[in-house]
Structure 1
Amino acid sequence: MDFGGGDEIRFERRGATGIVTLTRPKALNAITHRMVLALTRALDEWQSDDRVAVVVVTAEGRAFSAGGDILRIYEAGKAGGFPVAFFADEYRLNAAIARFEKPYVSLIDGIVMGGGVGISVHGSHRLFTENAVFAMPEVGIGFFPDVGGSFFLPRLRNSFGSWLGLTGERIRFGDALWSGIATHAVHSADRDAIVEALAESGDPDEVCERFAFEPARETEDASLSSIGRHFSLENINDILVSLGQGREHGDEFAGKALATIRTRSPTSLHVTHRQILAGGMLSMDECMRMEFRILNRMLKGHDFYEGIRAALIDKGSKPEWKPATIEDVGEAEIEAYFAPLGDSELAV
């Protein structure tokens, strides 16, 4: 089946299942504009195709998807051609997955970050294997947890989403299942059998019940308690103070979190904290419109390009954030990221 994805994404119908396979393993299946448009076309067709009972998304190689194709975005932005159209189509796809009326099964084996999260976490069934590694690390490159991060992060248990968004930390499948990111844990060795079972029955609930198991949570009780205590606060400066006090009282987890946050983009931290607070009271479509407003300002700012330079261009160098500290970021500066776009608002 050809929906215009070229050699970057493959589509097939097998039995009752529409199968999507990401096929850029050398690029860790980073999401491109072509892939976004092709998947959008496939879902549009399969939504009304009675032969397709369920959609399953999987990937070649050691990553499900490590995110968006950041270098392409960086190069386009530096040249003055801000790739707004890519993000608009990506965000519309994220919203379409959230409202897709048929079961949508993501089979996560390996790294899933950024744009890869956007095409998986909004589906009805999220299957994580023991090889899965999840993160939303955007604050470390001067960006923000987009692709619906403002919708799903505030809905995770125990302020776990706030901790993930503000630190960019990685978690494994036990934590993903406990927090609500994953709906099931499965063994990597069973991936092909799961796809075949879905093709035969078209019943993901029955297939998941057959193959799923309950892994142990990786994060310890004391660390979860620390996350809930510090990251539930509604002011980012209060979070920093709370983490500092925890460190002074021997809370090693709080000390580590504080040290990590201090390396992230101050602007990104403020924006991320506010979007997570706001997103908990918004619908998915409303979240995508909010994120599109933020995106338009981020692409014209400083920290995103500085973060990519430090992480990918001059690898290992220290980014020079502007403003340099969390305390230096003004309220009016952050407010501007959320201001309406007028005629340029995202149509979801």
Structure 2
Amino acid sequence: MLLLCLQILSWSYGGVVSLRNLLYDKKIKKRFYYKKPKVISIGNLSLGGTGKTPLTIYLVKLLAKGRVIGVLSRGYKRRSIGFKIINESVSPLTAGDEPYLVYKNFLDHPNVVVAVCENRVKGVAKLMEYRPNVQLILLDDAFQHLSLRPHLNILLTSFHQPFFKDHVLPLGQLREPRKGASRADIILVTKSPLNLSQSELGTIKSSMQKYHRKEVSVFFTHTIYHDPIAIGEVKADKLPVTLLLVTGIADSLPLRIYLEKNGHQVKHLAFRDHHWFSDTDILKIINLFHGLDQPDKAIVTTEKDYIRLLDHSLIKLLFSLPVYYMPIEIGFAEEDKATFETKVIKFLA
């Protein structure tokens, strides 16, 4: 009975979204298009956890040389409204964790501007007012924002939960029906295992291609984990074996698997995606840490979670312990990297 109810709700929700998309397709609802600056949209069909922020950072590093670049995000779950330029006077709480993380990565780059706005059309206009010489704008998490037509649409889907195996909310995790993938110019299958066979690659590409009328470029990416960075007062040359992993992201399983494969014994405290930590949460983390049996132990979190911890009133209490975050980066097979970068740059010509 529950499954049937979920299916009915899923069909109803999918129908409403499909109707909305059709109104844009038939030009009944207006779409804004800017010849300049160029606009790249980065997004997914699912609720999250596909790695949009690492891709955004990757693209800024790739394209910022010789260009003024704006990054525009909604600033999901930020405690502010309207258009804001992210700068030293803005906190992660008022900017949103993901925009602030992008800003933090390009603090010393004067040609990179990070902003937030719920309305992407208004946000682009405001960004152009702020920096009239902006040449490229990256729209973070904007695949469903059809009121603004980008020059390039990049769709991300995770290897372990690809959109073609998923269902529309609330039966699954999709924000819109699978056919929405037809808007993508490029699809990245993120968090993929290394050394996939040609047969496996071909099967996945074929499953995605049936949602497109023309050939779509599909690339497989993996997550690169860098050495942990100590953010607590206690620092060591390497991570202890015993770890308390604290996460508030959509998909934390790959990080846990990575740590366990590298010989760590992991106790995992998982919060909801974009979770803002309370005093109770911080005290719970500290108590769980002290409750671990081994004397040689540490707390590990993600860089995005670290951003959300920065402004906390109890941060000094937490950082008196051995605490680390794991920087990550999106990685391509060497031949795919060159092809992907060439394709992106070609769209900007």
TM-score normalised by the shorter chain: which range applies?
under 0.3
Q: Which has the larger radius of gyration?
A: 2
Larger strand fraction of residues: 2
Higher relative contact order (CA 8 A, sep 6+): 2
Higher helix share: 1
Query: What is the TM-score of this pair, normalised by structure 1?
Result: 0.24
TM-score by length of structure 2 reads 0.24
